[in-house]
């Protein structure tokens, strides 16, 4: 039984994981960089240890140091959160070798899903539809052009190891493809140590809909329905909601079954997400799998009543799921927005000293925040300072709540994206549920 967990992360997710531990009577160990010495999560944990300088290689990516602290504090398990080491198969192997439970899937399955080319092949084997495209690695721009003409433009050129849009580019002609190929491959090689490229047909006006799954170590798998996250800017999600207003119950059920099949075929365990693109005819296609807890997990918790972090710990303890698919129901509608310390016009990060920080309060408002008043947002990490999640019995109600809550938020000293969020949410197009992947591009044109 896990009695003590080291949280190998920072910010709002570290705070979220510490809360789940406290609820279960589990001791907590926080780790932090010099830039995060005053972060709220550091004071929430039972014990806290300095990792080193702000640079991530010396702090949140420092496997040896994190493992040393885990051993010295007698932690039984490590929760990696999202980002940082959360999808690093080597870290899982090191934890396991040290006798420390990694709260997540095995390194082998993480490694497989970390390669988008391997993931596409695995999904095809599991009978899950994939976006039309190439099977293996494309080695040269000439080969790419040949296959592109079979698939047909527009095409998404993607890096197999890609993430955050790195190595990904839309191309419309042979010329564009030739120009884009080597550069994207090189970028992927630099960022991920893997320059392997593949291509997919670009699906326009599709929706990004992902299925949350939970899988225990005894072969039991359930899905917790979908989240719609089509509103993204530069590969960063901005708004996430559940359920999707677009898909029918029948499509919802089919997508859930496909996700469960995929997970069973992979032998995947713990919490995970299967991302799909869904076209205007409600045909769905596998996009990628996330082998971690995700930023947007709260919207699923709000509509299902489940605590996903608590379930992750139960699963890591070797316990069987206590729920069956038939026990799960969608209740109401939840929307999450990500609050960033950034200029709403230029989108540049806006670090600095927060002089005023007043959160909205309400029964159906959930705040997951990383900062406080009189706190310095540093320039070292992702500028997300928190998330606002609202729940309504209907989508309209949730939208109304969200607009009011965003207007109540009072943050001074730094700039935030709240004006941009209000512009998105308080728009006819969002209210009508017309939220395809083209939304930000077509609707939110910055004023400069
Ligand atoms: C796509 C796509 C359309 N066609 N792939 C993948 C990673 C994610 N961050 C964006 N991804 C997409 N992959 C094919 N073949 C559409 C997206 C996409 C998207 C693209 C541009 C602007 C907003 C978007 C929101 C969600 C998904």
Burial of 153 (0-12, 13-18, 19+ CB in 10 A): middle
202 lines ligand 1 (CB under 6 A): yes
448 residues of the chain, pLDDT tens digit each: 999 999 999 999 999 999 999 999 999 999 999 999 999 999 999 999 999 999 999 999 999 999 999 999 999 999 999 999 999 999 999 999 999 999 999 999 999 999 999 999 999 999 999 999 999 999 999 999 999 999 999 999 999 998 889 999 999 999 999 999 999 999 999 999 999 999 999 999 999 999 999 999 999 999 999 999 999 998 999 999 999 999 999 999 999 999 999 999 999 999 999 999 999 999 999 999 999 999 999 999 999 999 999 999 999 999 999 999 999 999 999 999 999 999 988 889 999 999 999 999 999 999 999 999 999 999 999 999 999 999 999 999 999 999 999 999 999 999 999 999 999 999 999 999 999 998 988 887 654 3
E strand residue ranges, 267-369: 270-278, 284-290, 333-340, 352-354, 356-358, 365-369
Q: Report d(CA 273, CA 14) in Å as an integer.
A: 20
Residue 417's pLDDT is 96
Residue nearest to atom 24 of ligand 1 (CA): 437
156 lines ligand 1 (CB under 6 A): yes
Provide the residue ranges of all domains of the chain, joining segments of one domain with +: 4-103, 132-201, 207-447
122 lines ligand 1 (CB under 6 A): no
Q: For residue 240, how far is its CA from the centre of ligand 1 (angstroms)?
A: 15
Mutation choice for ligand 1 from 117, 206, 208, CB with most ligand atoms inside 8 A: 208
- In terms of phi and psi (left: phi > 0; alpha: psi -120 to 50; beta: otherwise), the region of 413 is left
131 lines ligand 1 (CB under 6 A): yes
Whether residue 10 is preceded by a cis peptide bond, meaning omega within 30 degrees of 0, is: no
Residue 261's pLDDT is 97
364-420 confidence digits (pLDDT tens): 999 999 999 999 999 999 999 999 999 999 999 999 999 999 999 999 999 999 999
Q: For residue 324, how far is its CA from the centre of ligand 1 (angstroms)?
A: 32
Sheet with 365-369, side-by-side order of all strands:
284-290, 270-278, 207-215, 221-233, 236-242, 333-340, 384-392, 365-369
Give residues with Cβ within 8 angstroms of 243, minimum separation 6. 225, 226, 228, 252, 303, 330, 333
Q: Report d(CA 202, CA 240) in Å as an integer.
A: 22
Q: For residue 207, how far is its CA from the centre of ligand 1 (angstroms)?
A: 9
Task: Quote the CATH superfamily of domain 207-447.
Answer: ATP-grasp fold, B domain (3.30.470.20)
Residue 448's pLDDT is 36
Contact 85, 61 (CB under 8 A): yes
Residue nearest to atom 15 of ligand 1 (CA): 202
Residue 445's pLDDT is 61
Residue 368's pLDDT is 98
DSSP state of 295: T
Burial of 362 (0-12, 13-18, 19+ CB in 10 A): middle
Residue 330's pLDDT is 98
Residue found by looking up tokens 């698919």 in the block: 325
Residue 163's pLDDT is 84
Contact 316, 310 (CB under 8 A): no
Q: For residue 350, how far is its CA from the centre of ligand 1 (angstroms)?
A: 26
- Which pair of tokens denotes residue 327? 């026990």
- Ligand 1 atom index nearest CA of 164: 9
Q: Which fold has domain 132-201?
A: Dna Ligase; domain 1 (3.30.1490)
The Cα diameter of the chain in Å comes to 60
Distance, CA of 343 to chain centre: 22
208 lines ligand 1 (CB under 6 A): yes
Q: Report d(CA 104, CA 398) in Å as an integer.
A: 32
Mutation choice for ligand 1 from 117, 437, 442, CB with most ligand atoms inside 8 A: 437
Mutation choice for ligand 1 from 206, 436, 444, CB with most ligand atoms inside 8 A: 206
201-232 confidence digits (pLDDT tens): 999 999 999 999 999 999 999 999 999 999 99
Residue 446's pLDDT is 54
134 lines ligand 1 (CB under 6 A): no
Catalytic residues: 292
Q: Which CATH class is domain 4-103?
A: alpha beta
DSSP state of 382: -
209 lines ligand 1 (CB under 6 A): no
160 lines ligand 1 (CB under 6 A): no
158 lines ligand 1 (CB under 6 A): no
Contact 181, 112 (CB under 8 A): no
């Amino acid at each position: 039984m896990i009695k003590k967990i080291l949280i190998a992360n920072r910010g709002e997710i570290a705070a979220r994981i510490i809360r789940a531990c406290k609820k279960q009577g589990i001791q907590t160990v926080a780790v932090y960089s010099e830039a995060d010495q005053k972060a709220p999560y550091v004071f929430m944990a039972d014990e806290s240890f300095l990792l080193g300088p702000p640079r991530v290689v010396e702090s949140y990516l420092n496997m040896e140091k994190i493992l040393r602290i885990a051993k010295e504090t007698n932690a039984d398990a490590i929760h990696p959160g999202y980002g940082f080491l959360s999808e690093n198969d080597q870290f899982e192997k090191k934890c396991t070798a040290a006798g420390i439970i990694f709260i997540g899937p095995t390194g082998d399955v993480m490694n497989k899903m970390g390669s988008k080319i391997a993931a596409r092949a695995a999904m095809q084997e599991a009978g899950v539809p994939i976006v039309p495209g190439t099977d293996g690695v494309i080695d040269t721009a000439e080969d790419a052009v040949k296959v592109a003409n079979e698939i047909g433009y527009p095409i998404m050129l993607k890096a197999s190891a890609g993430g955050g849009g790195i190595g990904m580019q839309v191309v419309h002609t042979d010329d564009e493809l030739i120009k884009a190929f080597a550069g994207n491959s090189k970028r992927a090689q630099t960022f991920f140590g893997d320059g392997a490229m593949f291509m997919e047909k670009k699906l326009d006006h599709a929706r990004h809909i992902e299925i949350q799954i939970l899988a225990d170590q005894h072969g039991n798998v359930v899905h917790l329905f979908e989240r719609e996250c089509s509103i993204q800017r530069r590969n960063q999600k901005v708004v996430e909601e559940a359920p999707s207003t677009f898909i029918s119950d029948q499509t919802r059920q089919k997508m859930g079954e496909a996700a469960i099949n995929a997970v069973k075929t992979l032998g995947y365990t713990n919490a995970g997400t299967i991302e799909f693109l869904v076209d205007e005819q409600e045909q769905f296609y596998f996009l990628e799998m996330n082998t971690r807890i995700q930023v947007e997990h709260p919207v699923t918790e709000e509509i299902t009543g489940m605590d996903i972090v608590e379930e992750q710990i139960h699963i890591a303890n070797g316990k069987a799921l206590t729920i069956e698919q038939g026990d799960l129901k969608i209740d109401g509608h939840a929307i999450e927005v990500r609050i960033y310390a950034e200029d709403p016009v230029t989108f540049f990060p806006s670090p600095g000293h927060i002089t005023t920080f007043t959160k909205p309060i309400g029964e159906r408002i959930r705040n997951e925040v990383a900062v406080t008043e009189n706190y310095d947002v540093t320039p070292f990490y992702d500028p997300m300072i928190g998330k606002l999640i609202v729940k309504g019995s209907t989508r309209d109600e949730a939208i109304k709540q969200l607009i009011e809550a965003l207007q109540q938020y009072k943050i001074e000293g730094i700039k935030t994206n709240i004006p941009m969020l209000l512009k998105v949410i308080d728009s006819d197009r969002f209210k009508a549920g017309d939220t395809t992947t083209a939304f930000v591009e077509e609707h939110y044109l910055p004023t400069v």
